[in-house]
C-alpha cells in the first residue's frame, strides 16, 4: 500500500530531525520528536516506548537500543541510563540524546560499538522528571523549584528504603520506574545528576550493620561498586582528578561512597541494588546544575568515552541459566556468590537466568531451589568486558521438575530488621543476612 503524501512528509521530517541533533536544550516536544525520528530512521536497532506518565501527563520516554530492541534475549544483559531525575539538573538529559545519536550512527561503522550493541540491550531514559525541567524557566547553577516534580516531591527521596521507613507518597514517576525495574532484568545502571563532579556508589543510607557508624555504608559488593565508579571517573576528562567543584570538597580519584558524602533516604540507586538486582551508581556531571547551552558540546566530549566504557561493565562476572531435569528454566532460584549474600537474595528471572557482577577472581557460586539441596560450583572469572560476554555457568537440577512459587522481598527496611536481630543475638553480618534470606524463602 502506498503511503499518502502527508505521511511521507511526516516521515522525512522525523528522519531529518534524527540526522541533525544540535547542542542545545530540547524541551518536551522537541525531545519526543527527536526520539521518534531516531526510531523511524533505525527501526530494527531501536524500540521507543513510554514507561508511564508524569504528574502533568508527559510521557516518560525510553529508547531501547540493541540487536533485539523489542524484547529480552537469553544471555544478553540489560543496561540502563536515567537522567534529569531532578528537573533542574540538565546536562545528563542532553548528553544522553547525543549518546543515542553516537550509538545509532556508529553501528556497523565502529567495530566496538557494533559488538556492544549486538551483545547488550541498552535502555536510555533522557528525563525522569519532564515536569520539573519544563518548570525551570530561569536556569540556575544551584537551585530551582524545578528540582522537584509537579507535586513538589524529590524523586530521589521517594523510593522504598532498606534502612528506615520512607513515609513519602510514591509519585507516578517513581512508580513507573519501579514497575520498569520489575519488568526487566536490569544488571547495571547509572543515574545522571548535576551540582558536583563525582561518581557516587551505594549505599546512600546505612546503619550499624553496614558500618555507617564509621562514616561509610558498605554493601556486600563494595569492591565491584568501587570498580564501577572508578571506571567512569577514570575515563572522564577531569572527574578522576577529584578536585570537586570548590576547594572545600574533594573526592579522591573522583569517587565517593554515597553515605560518606551525605546520608540519603529513599534514593534510587539503593533501591535498584536491593530490590532490582541491579547495580546502579550516581553520576554527578556538572558543578553548575543548569549550565548555558553553549557548554553542552564540551560536556559531551568530557563524558563520551566514560559513558561507553561504563556500559561495557555490564559484562563483568558470571551469568547463566538454572534448569530442571527436563531442561526447562527454573525461575525464582536463588543464585549468589559465596561470602557476599544480598539482604534480598538475587533470583533467576522467568527464563531461569541469573547475572552476577563480579571482579576477576575465583568464586564459589551457590544456586538454590527452595526445598532442594543447593548446588555449588567454583568458577574462575576473567575480565570479559572486552569480549562483551560474562563467563557462562549454568546449573541443572536433575531432581527438580516443578516451578518454585513466585517469591519477592517485601518493600520494608530490611536492614532495620537486621539491626534488631544483631542487638538480640550479636551474630556476624554473614549469618544475619543468611537468616533474613532464610526467612524470605520460608515465607
Whether 422 has a pLDDT exceeding 70, the answer reads no
Task: Give a yes or no: residue 423 inside a domain.
Answer: no
Q: Domain total for the chain?
A: 2
Same-domain pairing of 311 and 329: no
Q: Summarize pLDDT for 197-250 with one digit per residue, the tens.
A: 999 999 999 999 999 989 999 999 999 999 999 999 999 999 999 987 887 789
419 pLDDT above the threshold of 90: no
What is the arrangement of strands in the sheet containing 361-368, beginning at the earlier edge strand? 334-337, 361-368, 375-381
Choice among 78, 153, 284, 417 that is catalytic: 284
Return the C-alpha cell found at 415.
536492614
Q: Are strands 279-286 and 395-396 parallel, antiparallel or unpaired?
A: unpaired
Q: Which of 71, 75, 121, 123 is nearest to 390 (CA)?
A: 75
Q: Which of 262, 295, 315 is the last residue of a domain?
A: 315
pLDDT tens, residue by residue, 259-313: 999 999 999 999 999 999 999 999 999 999 999 999 999 999 999 999 999 999 9
What is the strand order of the sheet 279-286 is part of? 46-53, 59-65, 121-125, 78-83, 186-193, 279-286, 196-201, 255-257
Section 18-31 average pLDDT:
89
pLDDT band at 138 (very low <50, low <70, confident <90, very high): confident
Is 138 within 8 Å of 95 (Cβ atoms)? no
**Rounded mean pLDDT, 30-53:** 98
CATH of the domain at 386: 2.60.40.1120
> 328 and 248, same structural domain?
no
Residues 232 and 378 in one domain: no
Whole-prediction pTM: 0.92
Question: What CATH code is carried by the domain that includes residue 279?
Answer: 3.40.630.10
Same domain, 259 and 135: yes
Same domain as 226, residue 355: no
Average pLDDT, the chain: 91
- Assess whether pLDDT exceeds 80 at residue 12: no
- Structure-model confidence comparison of residues 137 and 261, the more confident one: 261
Whether residue 1 lies inside any domain: the answer is no
306 membership: H or E segment, kind and range = helix 296-312
Decide if 369 is inside a domain.
Answer: yes
Whether residues 245 and 270 fall in one domain: yes
With respect to residue 402, please indicate whether it lies within any of the assigned structural domains: no
State which of 315, 330, 352 marks the end of a domain.
Answer: 315
Q: How big is the CA angle at 126 (ends 122 and 132), to the nearest 5 degrees?
A: 150
d(CA 169, CA 160): 10
Q: CA-CA distances (angstroms) from residue 324 to 78, 227, 402, 420?
A: 24, 35, 8, 38
Q: Do 277 and 324 share a structural domain? A: no
Q: Are 391 and 318 in contact (CB under 8 A)?
A: yes
Q: Which domain holds residue 167?
A: 28-315
- Give the model's pLDDT for residue 367: 97
265 part of the active site: no
My answer on whether 222 and 358 are in the same domain is no
Asked whether residue 281 is assigned to any structural domain, the reply reads: yes
d(CA 300, CA 1): 42
Residues in the chain: 443
Tens digit of pLDDT for each residue in 337-368?
A: 999 999 999 999 999 999 999 999 999 999 99
- Give the pLDDT confidence score for residue 296 in this predicted structure: 98
Residues 207, 267, single domain; the answer is: yes
Q: What is the mean pLDDT of residues 437-441?
A: 43
Q: Is residue 68 part of a domain?
A: yes
Query: Domain boundary at 315, 344, 361, which?
Result: 315
Q: Does 380 share its domain with 299? A: no
Strands 279-286 and 196-201: antiparallel
pLDDT attached to residue 3: 43
Q: Tell me, what's the pLDDT at 427?
A: 45
Res 429: pLDDT: 47
Is position 361 within any domain? yes
34 and 163 together in one domain: yes
The C-alpha atoms of residue 158 and residue 219 are separated, in whole angstroms, by 21
pLDDT digits (tens, 9 = 90+) for 167-194: 999 999 999 999 999 999 999 999 999 9
Angle among Cα 338, 343, 348 to the nearest 5 degrees reads 70
Stretch 123-136: mean pLDDT? 97
Give the rounded percent of residues in the chain with a pLDDT score beyond 70.
Answer: 89
Are 203 and 308 part of one and the same domain? yes
Would 425 be classed as within a structural domain?
A: no
Amino acid at each position: 500500500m502506498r503511503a499518502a503524501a502527508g505521511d511521507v512528509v511526516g516521515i522525512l521530517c522525523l528522519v531529518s530531525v534524527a540526522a541533525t541533533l544540535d547542542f542545545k536544550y530540547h524541551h518536551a516536544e522537541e525531545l519526543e520528536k527527536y526520539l521518534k525520528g531516531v526510531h523511524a530512521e533505525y527501526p530494527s536497532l531501536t524500540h521507543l516506548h513510554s514507561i508511564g506518565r508524569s504528574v502533568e501527563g508527559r510521557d516518560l520516554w525510553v529508547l531501547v537500543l540493541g540487536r533485539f530492541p523489542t524484547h529480552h534475549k537469553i544471555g544478553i544483559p540489560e543496561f540502563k541510563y536515567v537522567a534529569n531525575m531532578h528537573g533542574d539538573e540538565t546536562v545528563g538529559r542532553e548528553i544522553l540524546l547525543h549518546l543515542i545519536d553516537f550509538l545509532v550512527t556508529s553501528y556497523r561503522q565502529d567495530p566496538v560499538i557494533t559488538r556492544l550493541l549486538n551483545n547488550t540491550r541498552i535502555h536510555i531514559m533522557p528525563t525522569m522528571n519532564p515536569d520539573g525541567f519544563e518548570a525551570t524557566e530561569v536556569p540556575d547553577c544551584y537551585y530551582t523549584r524545578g528540582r522537584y516534580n509537579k507535586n513538589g516531591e524529590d524523586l530521589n527521596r521517594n523510593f522504598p528504603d532498606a534502612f528506615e521507613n520512607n513515609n513519602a507518597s510514591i509519585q507516578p514517576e517513581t512508580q513507573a520506574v519501579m514497575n520498569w525495574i520489575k519488568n526487566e532484568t536490569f544488571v547495571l545502571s547509572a543515574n545522571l545528576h548535576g551540582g558536583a563532579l563525582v561518581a557516587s556508589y551505594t549505599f546512600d543510607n546505612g546503619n550499624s550493620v553496614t558500618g555507617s557508624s564509621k562514616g561509610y555504608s558498605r554493601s556486600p559488593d563494595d569492591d565491584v561498586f568501587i570498580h564501577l565508579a572508578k571506571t567512569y571517573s577514570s575515563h572522564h576528562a577531569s572527574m578522576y582528578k577529584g578536585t570537586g567543584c570548590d576547594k572545600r570538597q574533594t573526592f579522591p580519584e573522583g569517587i565517593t561512597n554515597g553515605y560518606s558524602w551525605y546520608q540519603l533516604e529513599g534514593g534510587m540507586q539503593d533501591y535498584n541494588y536491593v530490590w532490582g538486582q541491579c547495580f546502579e551508581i550516581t553520576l554527578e556531571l556538572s558543578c553548575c546544575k543548569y549550565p548555558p547551552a553553549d557548554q553542552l558540546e564540551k560536556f559531551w566530549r568530557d563524558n563520551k568515552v566514560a559513558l561507553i566504557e561504563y556500559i561495557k561493565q555490564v559484562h563483568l562476572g558470571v551469568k547463566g541459566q538454572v534448569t530442571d531435569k527436563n531442561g526447562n528454566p527454573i525461575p525464582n532460584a536463588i543464585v549468589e556468590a559465596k561470602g557476599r549474600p544480598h539482604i534480598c537474595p538475587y533470583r533467576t528471572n522467568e527464563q531461569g537466568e541469573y547475572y552476577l557482577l563480579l571482579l576477576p577472581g575465583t568464586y564459589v557460586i551457590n544456586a538454590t531451589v527452595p526445598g532442594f539441596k543447593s548446588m555449588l560450583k567454583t568458577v574462575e572469572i576473567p575480565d570479559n568486558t572486552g569480549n562483551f560476554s560474562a563467563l557462562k555457568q549454568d546449573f541443572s537440577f536433575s531432581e527438580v521438575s516443578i516451578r518454585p512459587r513466585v517469591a519477592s522481598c517485601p518493600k520494608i527496611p530490611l536492614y532495620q530488621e537486621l539491626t534488631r536481630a544483631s542487638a538480640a543475638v550479636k551474630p556476624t553480618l554473614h549469618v544475619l543476612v543468611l537468616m533474613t534470606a532464610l526467612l524470605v524463602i520460608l515465607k
